[in-house]
Amino acid sequence: MLSNFLSNTFKIQAIINKTLMKSKDIDNAMHLFSSITNKSNYMYTVMFKGLITNNMAEKVLDLFDEMKIEPDQFTLSTLFNACAVLNNNRAMKIGKELLAKIPENYRNDNITSTSAIDMLMKFGDVESAERIFRSMKTKNIITYGAMVKGYVGNEMFEKALDLFEQIHLSLTNAIYAIVFNACAKLCNDRAMKIGKKLLAKMPENYRNDNITSNSAIDMLMKFGDVESAERIFRSIKAKDIITYGAMVKGN
């Protein structure tokens, strides 16, 4: 019986995650989910992620209100993500209550803490995000990215560059794009120096990433360096509408 139950549960999880959520059949996913007697944190996380992907973050909070078990660090991270996406009064209340009650051992989990930072930055609560960031023993590049992006989102561009200059880890293409955006917004001597230096050091494989290249084009156009922007534009193999938009807007 136990073997059958586990087998059925895994099958249900697979159907919800790989079939119903991907085909946007939310009603049947919810119905199937409600048929599970002993719901695990993993099962809730699967549902929450599927709902967020389908732009139904409000339903995540509805489902969370019905939860009879304590969320683990993975479920908490997904809940923080839902609250960040919603960014309304209800989300702020639930997000901050969850954060206040978070077990101490989860605070050292990078995924959970990074999700909390992103959520707080979306709420405009920069001070609390900074407090969590400082308390983290081991910061990874995604954590730094959440902070830098948060500063940019809160129009604290100088702080974004201050923190960027403290990073001593390998940069991802997302970090390049975020810093290029910060430099474009500031558009002062410091921003021009950092932006151009960063662009010169950017690995070749990142140059084929449209988001990174589009951000670089936008930054260079803001700097008035049309020639360099055109050079990047010509080098992009598969140009999208945003690439063309960045060039047209810059010109």
pTM of the model: 0.86
CA–CA gap between residue 6 and residue 15 (Å, rounded): 14
pLDDT for the residue numbered 42? 86
The position carrying tokens 């974004």 is: 160
Task: Identify the pLDDT of residue 155.
Answer: 96
pLDDT at 71: 93
- Write the DSSP assignment of 210-224 as a string of letters: HHHHHHHHHHHHHHT
Determine the pLDDT at residue 2. 41
Residue 180 inside a domain? The answer is: no
- Count CB-CB contacts under 10 A for residue 78: 25
**Between the CA of residue 137 and those of 107, 113, 140, what are the distances in Å?**
10, 11, 10
Q: Which residues of the chain have pLDDT under 70?
A: 1-23, 251
Structural domain contains residue 209: no
The answer to whether residue 240 is domain-embedded is no
249 assigned to some structural domain: no
Residue 12 belongs to a domain: yes
CA distances from 209 to 70, 151, 203 (A): 40, 23, 11
How many domains does the chain contain in total? Answer: 1
pLDDT score of 5: 42
Angle between helices 57-65 and 73-86 (to 10 degrees): 130
Please indicate, yes or no, if residue 67 is contained in any of the structural domains. yes
Task: Find the domain containing 7 and state its range.
Answer: 1-138
Q: Is residue 36 part of a domain?
A: yes
**Residues 78, 40: contact at Cβ < 8 Å?**
no
117-166: pLDDT as tens digits = 999 999 999 999 999 999 998 899 999 999 999 999 999 999 999 999 99
Integer Cα distance of 139 and 20 in angstroms: 36
For residues 82 and 84, give the distance between their C-alpha atoms in angstroms, rounded to a whole number: 5
What are the tokens at 123? 């709420």
Place of tokens 């085909």: 23
Which tokens hold the place of 133? 């960031």
In a domain, 73, yes or no: yes
Q: Report pLDDT for 7.
A: 47
